[in-house]
């Protein structure tokens, strides 16, 4: 007999009283979300997933698929803080016995949630967008600029050269983890590579025949709501 008095909590609405099937439909209308319907909840994907196994067991691809397929939005939102943690290792997709493109489906779920305003802009998405912007602009990415540009976006003070307005590595604020991460490879680098990378930071490598294509790309990305 429970005499704790917690009883009164029973009045909290715990019961699922409907599905939101339109949400599921929207996920599955995306080419990368199409295979969501095939899942039979065996959890092969989750058992293979490094994020689930070594980081946070609340990250559970199988579970997200179930929730999305029935449109249990509030349950998805409860997991919004972990849903974006996928590292795209593709173990899930590789092993799913049902042929679900799990990694893609999870991204389709996130995209749909973002589009419907059901999830806040999460850090990895911010970076993904930042990266994509750079690709759209130049056709190519440049590691140094990407890194320091991103750091600047995170609110660090990055020092730039006065003429080209390009970030000068390590002169401004640099997070400790980054120093550690970058110094090791730099130390072992051949001097000509260092020069090359410095040059690339100043003069971003570009795809030459790019302008016309860029416009089409931008249009497509915008249509998909990719940059909003």
Q: Which is nearer to another protein, 93 or 158 (CB)?
A: 93
Alpha-carbon span 35 to 32, nearest angstrom:
7
Closest approach, Cβ 107 to ligand SF4, in A, equals: 9
The C-alpha angle with vertex 65 and arms to 64 and 70, in degrees rounded to 5, equals: 100
Q: Which is nearer to another protein, 157 or 215 (CB)?
A: 215
Alpha-carbon span 221 to 114, nearest angstrom:
15
Assess 164 for contact with another protein (CB under 8 A).
Answer: no
Positive or negative, the CA dihedral 24, 100, 42, 120 is: negative
Question: Among residue numbers 91 through 150, which ones bind ligand SF4 (CB under 6 A)?
Answer: 91-92, 96, 98, 100, 102-103, 106
Half-sphere exposure of 162 (CA within 13 A, CB side): 0
* Window 13-42: contact mask with another protein (x via CB under 8 A): -xxxxxx-x--------xxx-xx-xx-xx-
Alpha-carbon span 220 to 228, nearest angstrom:
13
The encoded tokens of residue 200 equal: 């690339």
- Cα distances from 109 to residues 23, 58, 181, 212, 216, in angstroms, run 9, 16, 32, 32, 25
Do 136 and 221 form a contact (C-beta atoms < 8 A)?
A: yes
Q: Return the one option of another protein, ligand SF4, none that residue 18 interacts with (CB less than 5 to 8 A, by type).
A: another protein
Binder of another protein out of 4, 8, 180, 209 (CB under 8 A): 209
* Window 57-86: contact mask with ligand SF4 (x via CB under 6 A): ----xx--x--------------------x
Half-sphere exposure of 92 (CA within 13 A, CB side): 32
Closest approach, Cβ 4 to ligand SF4, in A, equals: 37
Closest approach, Cβ 28 to ligand SF4, in A, equals: 14
Q: Return the one option of ligand SF4, another protein, none that residue 49 interacts with (CB less than 5 to 8 A, by type).
A: ligand SF4
Closest residue by Cα to residue 137 from 60, 52, 43, 221: 221
Closest approach, Cβ 212 to another protein, in A, equals: 4
Question: Among residue numbers 61 through 100, which ones bind another protein (CB under 8 A)?
Answer: 63, 66-67, 69-70, 72, 75, 87-91, 93-94, 98-100
Closest residue by Cα to residue 113 from 70, 87, 83, 90: 83
| Options 1-9, 12-20, 151-159, 166-174: segment touching another protein (CB under 8 A) | 12-20
Interface residue list for ligand SF4 (CB under 6 A): 39-45, 48-51, 61-62, 65, 86-92, 96, 98, 100, 102-103, 106
């Amino acid at each position: 007999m429970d005499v704790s008095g917690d009883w009164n909590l029973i009045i909290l609405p715990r019961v699922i009283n409907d599905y939101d099937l339109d949400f599921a439909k929207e996920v599955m209308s995306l080419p990368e979300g199409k295979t969501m319907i095939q899942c039979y909840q065996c959890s092969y994907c989750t058992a293979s997933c490094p994020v689930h196994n070594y980081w946070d067991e609340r990250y559970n691809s199988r579970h997200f698929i179930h929730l999305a397929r029935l449109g249990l939005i509030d349950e998805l939102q409860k997991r919004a803080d972990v849903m974006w943690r996928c590292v795209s290792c593709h173990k899930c997709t590789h092993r799913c016995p049902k042929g679900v493109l799990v990694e893609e489906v999870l991204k389709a779920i996130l995209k749909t949630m973002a589009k419907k305003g059901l999830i806040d802009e999460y850090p990895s998405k911010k970076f993904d967008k930042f990266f994509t912007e750079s690709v759209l602009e130049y056709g190519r990415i440049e590691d140094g600029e990407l890194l320091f540009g991103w750091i600047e976006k995170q609110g660090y003070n990055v020092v730039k050269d006065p003429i080209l307005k390009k970030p000068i590595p390590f002169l401004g604020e640099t997070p400790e983890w980054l120093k550690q991460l970058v110094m090791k490879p730099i130390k072992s680098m051949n001097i000509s590579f260092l020069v090359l990378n410095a040059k690339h930071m100043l003069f971003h490598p570009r795809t030459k025949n790019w302008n016309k294509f860029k416009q089409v790309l931008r249009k497509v990305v915008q249509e998909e709501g990719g940059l909003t």
